Structure 1
């Protein structure tokens, strides 16, 4: 979409002050800890791009607040490389760079904002190669420290700490199915048929590159078989999010031209975990 179309969509440039007003009207405030997901094109023409969005968010949460994003690792080795011919595996193991929180790019599928935030002055990124997060602000180090190697979406993960802090989740023009925190609900839910993945990735240990094996819920193809509990062709997280909104968990409004939503993380988890446990136990 070209700049003229973005300008028309948003009724002119979306500036830092306009974003600040809209985010405040949506319910964000000073001192908030906010995990956010953004679709830039939905907002309209943002004067200054990603830095304007981050600055506006920092304006709203203030010095006592914190911003958090999900990063991942764009150039991680594929889970199934262990199925490759032996010579290919050997070449990968010999030379694939280790995950480096400072240098490894955030997953491009997560949009432009995670990569921008991880470069922000004072940013802290978690140590987990496949499920890394990044944060800026007063609680950044607390949220990111000692990210568990195994079950990185579960207890004591950055997501768990966000909930424990009474944090919030913002969808800034991002679709409802992008609620990454629902992977934390999947990790905690006591429901049958939970799917796990095990994989190997290189990390740095005392400056040396080593290969480590990890175990996590299957956050890529789905931690559960949702086919009997959500309509065909719909994303499970979107279904859960819409039911939450219908139950009064979360609120929505426009930020620029973007339909946006904010959820209180503890209330979100209090809804989502029982939803998973009840629906998945009752499925035919």
Structure 2
């Protein structure tokens, strides 16, 4: 979409001050710890791009607040490289760079904001290569510390700590199916048929590049088979999020030109776990 179209959509440039005012009207407060997901084009023409959005968020939450994003690792080795011919595997194992929280780019599929935030002075990124998060602000170090190697969306994860600290989730023009915190609900839910993945990625330990094996819920193809409870063409996370909104959970408003929502993290997980256990059977798999 070109600049003129974005300007028309948002009725002029969306400035740092305008975003801050809209976020305040939505209910974001000073001192909040908030994980946010953003689709820049939905906001309109943002004067200054990602720096403006992060600046506006920091203006609202203040020095006592914390911002958090999901990063991942854009250049991680493919999950299925272990199916490659042995010579190809050997070449990858010999030279693929280790994940570096300071240098490894955030997954481009997560948009521009995670990469912008994780590169800002004072930002802290978690140690897990595939499920990394980044945070900036008063509680950044505590949120990111000792990210579990296995079950990185479950207990002890940055997502779990977001809930424990009374955090919030902001969908800033982002589709509801990108509500990453619902992976934490999947990790916690006691329902049959939970799907897991095992994979290998290189990390740095004591200054040495080593290949480590990881175990996690299948956050790419789905931790459960949702086909019996979600109609074809519909994303289960969007269905769950729409259910939350219909139940009066969360607040809606407009930031720039973007339809946006603000949720309490604990409410998302409580509703998500209850929905999963109710719809999928409610007994351990």
TM-score, length of structure 1 as denominator length: 0.99
Aligned equivalent of 2:248: 248
Matched, 1:170 2:170: yes
Offset at residue 231 of structure 1 (A): 1.3
CA distance in 2: counterparts of 1:265 and 1:201, whole angstroms? 30
* Match status 1:280 vs 2:275: no
- What are the ranges of 5 or more consecutive residues in structure 1 without an aligned counterpart? none
Task: Output aligned runs, 1:22-33, within 5 Å.
Answer: 22-33=22-33
Structure 1 residue 121, shift from structure 2 partner: 1.1
CA positional deviation for 1:132: 0.1
Does 2:147 match 1:147?
A: yes
The offset of 1:75, in angstroms, is 0.3
| In 2: Cα distance, 1:104 partner to 1:158 partner | 19
Please give the alpha-carbon distance, in whole angstroms, between the structure 1 residues aligned to 2:258 and 2:215. Answer: 36
State how far apart, in whole Å, the 2-side matches of 1:232 and 1:93 are: 39
Look up the SS of the partner of 1:42 in the other structure.
helix
| Backbone CA RMSD of aligned residues | 0.9
Tell me how far apart the structure 1 counterparts of residues 14 and 66 of structure 2 sit (CA, whole Å). 23
Deviation at 1:268, TM superposition (A): 1.2
Match of 1:114?
114
Check if 1:84 corresponds to 2:116.
no
| Gap regions ≥5 residues in structure 2 | none
Q: Matched residues in 2 for 1:269 and 1:25: separation?
A: 24
Which residue is 1:40 aligned to?
Answer: 40
Aligned to 1:57: 57
The 3-state SS of whatever aligns with 1:117 is helix
**Displacement of 1:125 after TM fit?**
0.1
State the partner residue of 1:221.
Answer: 221
Instruction: Give, in whole Å, the separation in 2 of the partners of 1:124 and 1:264.
Output: 23
C-alpha separation in 2, matches of 1:175 and 1:160 = 22
Q: Secondary structure at the match of 2:215?
A: strand
Which of structure 1's runs of 4+ aligned residues deviate more than 4 A? Answer: none
Deviation (angstroms), 1:232: 1.2
1:110 and 1:71 mapped to 2: Cα distance? Answer: 7
1:99 alignment partner in structure 2: 99
Q: State the match for 1:135 in structure 2.
A: 135
SS at match of 1:20: helix
Deviation of the 1:273 alpha carbon: 0.4
Q: Give the TM-score normalised by the residue count of structure 2.
A: 0.98
> 1:193 & 1:117 partners in 2: Cα distance?
36
Tell me the equivalent position of 1:235.
235
Q: Any idea what the Cα deviations from partners look like across 1:49-70, whole Å, max 9, x if unmatched?
A: 0000000000000000000000
Tell me, what secondary structure is at the counterpart of 1:94?
helix
Structure 2 SS opposite 1:229: coil
d(CA) in 2 for partners of 1:270 and 1:122?
32
Distance in 2 (CA, whole Å) between partners of 1:59 and 1:95 is: 43
CA distance in 2, matches of 1:172, 1:259: 7
